[in-house]
Amino acid sequence: MSDVSHIAVIGAGTMGSGIALTSALGGKQCTLIDVQQSQLETARAYHDKQLSKLVAKEKLSAEDATNAQSLLSYTTEMGDASDADWAIEAATENVEVKKTLFQLMRDTFNDEVVLATNTSSISISDLATAVEGAEDRVIGMHFFNPVPVMKLVEVIKGVKTSEATTNATIALSEALGKIPVPANDFAGFVSNRVLMPMINEAFHAWEDGVADPEAIDSIMKLGCAFPMGPLRLADYIGLDVCRDIMMVMYNGLNENPKYLPNQKLVDLVEAGKLGDKSGEGVYNYTKE
Ligand code: 3HC
């Protein structure tokens, strides 16, 4: 478990592509896997753009950028990464999807490989039940968006996660330039338990007419020193992701109504207005 050299990242969405870029910049070979070829192309374009930006800003030499590019590969077949010595699942926030992927991961990678998940809210112990015999290698390794910039990795042990798996996760997080911080296995862990109700409350404030979205965001930026206001951040994270995390917390924390997603948030998701990724959410990003 010690010298990780090849990381398989499963899921090439925003988080998966960010984790892959961070891995390559950390000198690790990284295979990004997704069932959708188009998603892999988007990830590759994101990587090329970010690496060029780093070179233009003289934060990375052209040689190191080329080296990072050469460490990255993209495939629709998990089997192409069967020699990976670490796996991070970063697929959609759905328990059944993740459990199916975990079984595939257990069957693809060798018996030493840590099976980490970037889940933002789902119970690690529950996910581990999908891979009987490998529960000790399952752990939460929760990165933050944008992954290359945000320092935190929230590390969550399941009931059967071994000490060796935890120590190796801490070591890898640090090797990638991150700061690992432990949290216990409750729905939403610490980050989303605190962040999502605040975002949800901003929707309630908007719905009640306390202020319009621009004013809510300005107040929280200027008065509380947030880099983004809560509604702008919700668009950035994805409104569907925010809704799904609220529902995982509602179901996982005794159906406490304080975790029910605000109706305006739900309505936007159902209208396909998901935030930055769809071009419109709380704000419209297609306007000039
Ligand atoms: N990928 C890589 N680098 C990025 C990036 C991306 N997607 N977006 C921005 N950056 C880099 C820029 O290149 C720039 O680098 P530099 O300092 O070397 O020039 C730096 O970040 C700052 O970017 P900008 O100057 O363009 O813009 P800002 O100063 O406004 O910063 C931000 C952008 C870092 C996104 C900042 O607004 C921020 O910190 N926002 C809050 C983000 C946040 O809260 N994330 C957590 C979300 S919750 C989560 O992920 C958990 C999940 O479970 C929901």
Atom 15 (ligand 1) nearest CA: 149
pLDDT tens digits, one per residue of 133-145: 999 999 999 999 9
Confidence at residue 287, expressed as pLDDT on a 0 to 100 scale: 72
Residue 152 is inside which H or E element, if any?
A: strand 152-157
Over range 16-21, report the average pLDDT: 98
* Residue 288 predicted with pLDDT over 70: no
* Alpha-helix residue ranges (DSSP H) falling in the chain: 14-25, 37-56, 62-71, 95-108, 124-128, 163-175, 191-208, 213-224, 230-237, 239-252, 263-270
Is 259 a pocket residue for ligand 1 (Cβ < 6 Å)? no
pLDDT exceeds cutoff 60 at 66: yes
Among 140, 82, 90, CA closest to 111 = 82
Largest pairwise CA distance in the chain: 55
Cα separation, 257 vs 200, whole angstroms = 12
Query: How much distance in Å is there from the Cα of 56 to the middle of ligand 1?
Result: 18
Write the residue with the smallest CA distance to atom 6 of ligand 1.
146
Mean pLDDT, residues 3-18: 96
Give the model's pLDDT for residue 20: 98
- Whether ligand 1 lies within 6 angstroms of the CB of 60 is answered as no
pLDDT band for position 1 (cuts 50, 70, 90): low
The catalytic residue among 6, 47, 118, 142 is 142
pLDDT tens readout for residues 97-122: 999 999 999 999 999 999 999 999 99
Q: Which one of 2.40.170.20, 1.20.970.10, 3.40.50.10860, 3.40.50.720 gives the CATH number of domain 6-183?
A: 3.40.50.720
3-class DSSP state for residue 180?
strand
Strands 152-157 and 138-142: antiparallel
- Classified by CATH at the fold level, domain 192-278 comes out as N-(1-d-carboxylethyl)-l-norvaline Dehydrogenase; domain 2 (1.10.1040)
Residue-wise pLDDT tens digits, 205-264? 999 999 999 999 999 999 999 999 999 999 999 999 999 999 999 999 999 999 999 999
Beta carbons within 8 Å of 201's beta carbon, 6+ residues apart: 230
The answer to whether the CB of 182 falls within 8 A of the CB of 153 is no
Which residue is closest in CA terms to ligand 1's atom 43?
A: 145
Contact 199, 242 (CB under 8 A): yes
Active site residue 47: no
Q: What local confidence, expressed as pLDDT, does residue 238 receive?
A: 95
pLDDT score for 134: 97
CA-to-CA distance for 256 and 154, rounded, in angstroms? 24
The CA 227 to ligand 1 mean position distance, Å, reads: 9
For range 65-85, the mean pLDDT = 98
Q: Residue 285 — very low, low, confident or very high, per pLDDT cuts 50/70/90?
A: very high
Calculate mean pLDDT across residues 77-104: 96
Examine the pLDDT at 2 and tell me if it is beyond 70. no
Enter the tokens of residue 135.
Answer: 């529960």
Nearest CA to ligand 1 atom 9: 146
pLDDT of residue 3: 86
Q: Rounded to two decimals, what is the model's pTM?
A: 0.96
Report the atom number in ligand 1 closest to the C-alpha of 120. 53
Mean pLDDT estimate for the chain: 97
Residue 16: what pLDDT? 98
Q: What is the pLDDT of residues 151-204, one digit of tens each?
A: 999 999 999 999 999 999 999 999 999 999 999 999 999 999 999 999 999 999
Domain ranges of the chain: 6-183, 192-278
Position in ligand 1 atom list of the atom nearest CA 59? 18
